[in-house]
Structure formats: structure tokens, C-alpha cells
Chain A
Amino acid sequence: MARLDHGFYSLEERIFYVLLLLGGAVTAAGLYAAHSMETHGHAITGMTNQVVWGLPHVFAIFLIVAASGVLNVASIGSVFGQALYKPRAPLSGLLSLAMLAGGLTVLMLDLGRPDRVIVAATHYNASSVFAWNVLLYSGMAAIVALYLWTLLERRMNRYAKAAGIAALIWRFALTTGTGSIFAFLIARQAYQSAVLAPLFIVLSFAWGLAAFLIVQAAMYAWNGQALPEAVRARMARLLGVFVAAALYLVAVYHLTNLYFAKQAAFEAFILLGRGDPSGLFAPLFWLGYVLLGTLLPMLLLWLPQAAGPRSLLAACALVLLGAFALLFVFIIGGQAFPLEIFPGYTATSSFADGTAEIYSPRWPEWLLGFGGLGVAFLLTTIGVRALDFLPQDDFVGRAE
């Protein structure tokens, strides 16, 4: 492919600063939202005592789960020795750190008392899945940083495989931990399922790879290069497999629920929208996650007629869209469905017992959520500019 015209390169430096400014502005808006929530309380958000985890958790959990999965590219290279993936390992590590930082920023700033976050380090309750995750997240950051060092510093290269194996094991634990935040909740019908742990692992593979492919495409375009066809085809096939596997586990989760009579009302609520006053969850699940986020990307990735860099990018964007749809249904829908304190009875009260909640996120939640994406974007942009993260496919030749 011919290099882009020289006009772009004379402007490159400026465009970099424009991107920084853009990322900085989105991050600053997120920080402003957090400051407002800190000053006025969560009353300025759409969250209530029925839906206590709102949109910020959707963004945070997306970023954290994808941060684990994006490292898959590095693992395939370092641990399983796939030559194609090795040059992509550093970029995958950087993205993992950036997304983890973005997700944790949102999670932390959404606390009722973010000023007390240090208490989470000094007071540790060993039976809390959240507390395990404090260790898992900080450990993940440390291991990925170490792993990046072994990849980028030539003298450390021989330890790359060991570091890669450690990172692989750690992120299995991390995503299991994230899934278990919900899997261990006995109170709510949407959760308490062991299948959530493997589901989150497979979802992380799909979301992480989709995010990686988008960033990689942007970097290639920036440098006036095109992704080698063989690389594109293999990574597209892999993404298709991950997306299909995730759909399978989502189906297993709902099918087991459908078999239990006690879960029938909840499944009707999510899948058919029965008793959902917002009318949001069923369309988001079927149209957002299943159709746009899964089936359409699978067609784009697997159909020979659709093969091409544009289809791949479109598929990646759709997978990420589907991720948000699925997480919204899972996290918000799971809380909106009323707790069943009196099975066999209808219930009403001043505290919204027996009533499905309508959650409408307000501006602070949107800004805080996008602020997390801003943090990840900012760190990635600076990282790829300051260090050499562009994958070099020597064996297939530079595509210039």
C-alpha cells in the first residue's frame, strides 16, 4: 500500500497533541462528574436504593474484563509460541494496563467515599470477593508491567515466557474474580451461577481482541501501513471463535435458568420484557447483544464474501457495542428485577418492593463512564507515541 500523502506526516505531531487534548478533555469531564458526585452525593445520578450499581459499573467492568482479554494476544505469542502474535505482545500489554487503569478509575470514583479508598488496603476482609479483586487488580498491573519489561528490554527477553505464563494464569484468576463478584451473590436471581466465571473469561477474550484489533488498525493507518492479509484473516477467525463461544455460554446461563421454575419470572423479564416498565432489557439483549453484537460480527468475520479490513473493523466495533448491551442487561437488569422476599406473593411498599425499577442514568454516570474510556485512550496514545509498540511482521514483510 502506498504511504499516505506527506501532508499527514507534516501534521502528525499536531494531530498527536489534538488526540491528547481530546482524551484529556474526556478524562477531565469524567473527573468533574466524580467531583460533583462527591459534593452532592449520588442523588444527582439516576442510581437509587434499587439500582445501586449503575452505568459506571457497566463501563468499569467492561474495561476490566477487556483489559484481561486484550492480553490474550501476548499470551498466544509468548506462552503458546505463535510467531504471528509475538510482535503484537507489547501493544497487547500496554492496552491491558491502560484499560485496567481506566476501569479502576471509574470503579474507585464511583465509590460513596472515594477519599477512603486507602481503607480498602488497610482493612482487608478475606471473605470478600471484592477484597480478593483488590489484590487481583493490583497484582495484574504489577505482573503486566513486569511482562512488558521482559518484552521490551532485550536482556530480559529470556524471561518473557515465564512472565507470560504468570500473566496468563493471573488473568484467568482475575476474570474468574470479576465474574465471581456476581456469581457469589445469593440474594439476586440474575447472579449466583458458577457459569459466570467461565463466561466472563470467554467474554474477556472476545472484547479484548476486538479492542486490540481496533487499536492496531488505527496504528497501522497512522503509519501508512496495512495489516498483512494472512494476519488479518487469522485474527478475524479467532475473534469469530471467541464471539461464538461467548454466545454459547450466555445461552447455557439462560437455558439453565429457564429450566428452574423459580427463575421463570426473571427470565421472562430479561428475555421477553415481561413486567419491565422500561421495556429496555429484552431489546437490548436480543437486538443489542445477540443480533448486532454477536450474529452480525460472526457473519462479517467468517463469510468469505465479507472478508476485508473494513468488515473486520465493523465486526470489532459491533462486538464492543454488544459488550455494553450485554453488561447493561446483566448488571442493571439484574438489579431492576425485584428481590423475591416473599415467594408466591405479590408485594408493594414505599421501598419499591415487588416493583421493577426504571433506571435512567443521568449526566454524571455518562461522563464518569466515558472518563474511564478517556483514561485508557490517553494512556494508550502516550504509550504508543513514547515507546515502540507498532507490531513489526518481519516474516511476512512490511506491507509498505
Chain B
Amino acid sequence: MSSGSTEALAGRRKFLGLAAAGAGGVLLAPGIHLIEVAQAATPEVTSKVRWGLLIDTTKCSSGCSDCISACNAENGLDPVPSPTSAQWIRKVEIKEIKTGRQASVPVMCQHCAEPPCVDVCPTGASFKRADGIVLVDRHACIGCRYCVMACPYKARSFVHEPLTNQKPDVPRGKGCVEGCTLCVQRIDRGGTPACVEACDKAGHHAMLFGNLNDPDSAISKRVRELATRQLRADLKLDPGVRYLGL
């Protein structure tokens, strides 16, 4: 082998080495950057907080569906639901059989302290965050629908159709189960759920959101003073959503 070809070989090796290092950097850097982004986006979640809702059915009017529209817009759900569409919040019109007394009740995931959906989930995709929000890990859900069978509030929906144009903050997809997240993406930025905001905007103020573990929060004071109730309290699931005027 001539000295010229040896030099050329060494040069090629050097080039390949640099190219490999460069390619490695290009491949790894976004990942490392993403880890930083992911860590930065996750604020501290502790059990010092228990997020809850107080819904005053005496202020909720039967014809109003602003909370539903706001939820659909915030989370990218069907504005006009089909029989198989996901519904994270719905208005249930109830009438007492004995007395005929009527009420319009917004029902969503009740964010139980003892959630049956979390108990039955085979993969642990259904989980409860330290701050009491019950969520579904979109990447671990295999779509077995056992949680839908287990939920006493009909709060879970199965995604029956392929989805497009999902919101970046709200991961959703065909074949998985989902439900109200209490707008966790807004809470983690210090905001309130979209339904609560919409209800306030409409001037009804029928929904109060806050930390049930903080004795000085508005919601804690209200539930201490007024006779509120949890749906299916007999099941002792300790839902984070309470109702007034039922």
C-alpha cells in the first residue's frame, strides 16, 4: 500500500469519526432537549393538594350547556356528539319519582379517592395523581374497557373512531379509554377547568373549583358550611366532586 493511500485512508477514518459524532449529536440532542422540556413542564404534584369541584345544581339552568361546549373545545371532543362519541361532561336531567322535583346536573369523572377504574385496570393505565386527579395513561391503555364497566358514574368513554387534529396538550386516540381530566393541562399552569371558567363567564357561578385539602380555600369553606353530597356516597369511593341542592 502506498503512503498516499494510507493518508487517504486516515483522512477518511477521521471524516467518518467526525460524521458519526455529528450524527450522534443530531440524533441525541432533541431527545435530551425533550427530557428537559418534559421535566420543565411538570410542576410539583403533591398530596397536600386534593383538587375538587362543588356543583350548585340550584344555579345550574336546564337549557344551558356552556360547560359542555367549553370542555369539547378545550379538549378537542366532538361538538355534536354521535352515539359513540366520547362525552367527558354531560348534563343529566333528573326528576324525583315521588315528588316530581327536577334538577339539571352536570356529571363528569368524579375523581374518586378510591377509584374503581384504577383498581380494575390490568396495566395500571388508569391512575390517580397525588393531587387526586384520576387520569388515563394513553400509552399504557390497551382498550379493554374494564374501567368503563367498573365506573359507577358512567364517566369513561371509549374512543370508537380514528381521531385527527388532536390538541397537543390533550393526548387522545382510537382504541383507548378516556374521561374528564379536570383540565389537568390548565391546572398545571395554574388555571381552572374549562367548564368552571365557562360557567362563571355565563354568570351562573354554579361550579366552584379548588383545593379540598386547604381549609382556607373557598371550596373547603363552602363544603364545611353547606349540606353537600357526593353521588353514590353509599359506595364510599369519596369522590372529589360534590353537589349542592340534590
> A interface vs B, CB < 8 Å?
38, 40-43, 47-49, 52-53, 111-114, 116-117, 119-120, 123-125, 127-131, 134, 181, 184-188, 335, 339, 341-342, 344-354
Q: Do A112 and B95 touch across chains, with their CB atoms under 8 A apart?
A: no
Q: Return chain A residues, CB-CB under 8 Å to B97.
A: 344-346
- Which of A113, A187, A354 contacts B142 (CB under 8 A)? A113
Q: Out of A112, A184, A187, A346, which one reaches B144, CB within 8 Å? A: A112
Whether B16 is near chain A, meaning CB under 8 Å from some CB there, is no
- A41, B161: Cβ atoms closer than 8 Å: yes
Report B203-237 residues with CB < 8 Å from chain A CB.
231-232, 235
5 contacting pairs across A/B (C-beta < 8 A) = A41-B160, A53-B145, A185-B116, A342-B94, A351-B81
Give the contacting residue for A112; candidates B107, B118, B122, B142; CB below 8 A: B142
Could you list 19 further interchain pairs (A-B, Cβ under 8 angstroms) beyond the known A41-B159, A128-B121?
A41-B174, A47-B160, A49-B84, A49-B87, A49-B156, A53-B145, A53-B149, A112-B175, A112-B176, A124-B123, A125-B122, A127-B118, A130-B146, A186-B152, A186-B235, A339-B153, A342-B246, A347-B94, A351-B90
Chain A residues with CB under 8 Å of B120's CB are 127-130, 184-185
> Closest CB-CB distance, B176 to chain A, in whole Å?
6
Out of A117, A123, A354, which one reaches B124, CB within 8 Å? Answer: A123
Q: Is the CB of A112 within 8 A of B143?
A: yes
B148 lies within 8 A of chain A by Cβ: yes
Question: Which secondary structure dominates chain B's binding surface?
Answer: loop
CA distance A43 to B94 in the complex (A): 29
Whether the Cβ atoms of A119 and B93 lie closer than 8 Å is no
Please give me the residue from chain B that is nearest to A50 by CB atom.
B154
List the A residue with the shortest CB-CB distance to B68: A350
- Evaluate whether A134 and B122 lie within 8 angstroms (CB atoms) in the complex, with A41-B175, A341-B153 already known: yes
CA distance A346 to B102 in the complex (A): 9
4 tightest Cβ-Cβ pairs between the two chains A and B:
A112-B143, A112-B175, A187-B152, A130-B122
Return A113 CB to nearest CB of chain B, in Å. Answer: 4
Contacts A342-B92, A344-B96; A123 near B116 (Cβ below 8 A): no
- Residue in B97, B150, B153 with the greatest tally of chain A CB atoms within 10 Å: B150
B125 interfacial contact with A, CB 8 Å: yes
- Smallest CB separation, A15 vs chain B (Å): 40
A125–B117 Cα gap in the complex (Å)?
A: 12
Contact with A along B86-115 (1 / 0, CB 8 A): 110011111111100000010100000000
Q: Point out which of B84, B161, B162, B177 has the most chain A C-beta atoms below 10 A from its C-beta.
A: B84
Q: Are B142 and A353 in contact (CB under 8 A)?
A: no
| Inter-subunit contact B93/A335 (CB<8 Å) | no
Counting chain B CB atoms within 10 Å of each CB, the highest count among A111, A125, A129 belongs to A125
Tell me if A341 and B95 are in contact (CB < 8 A): no
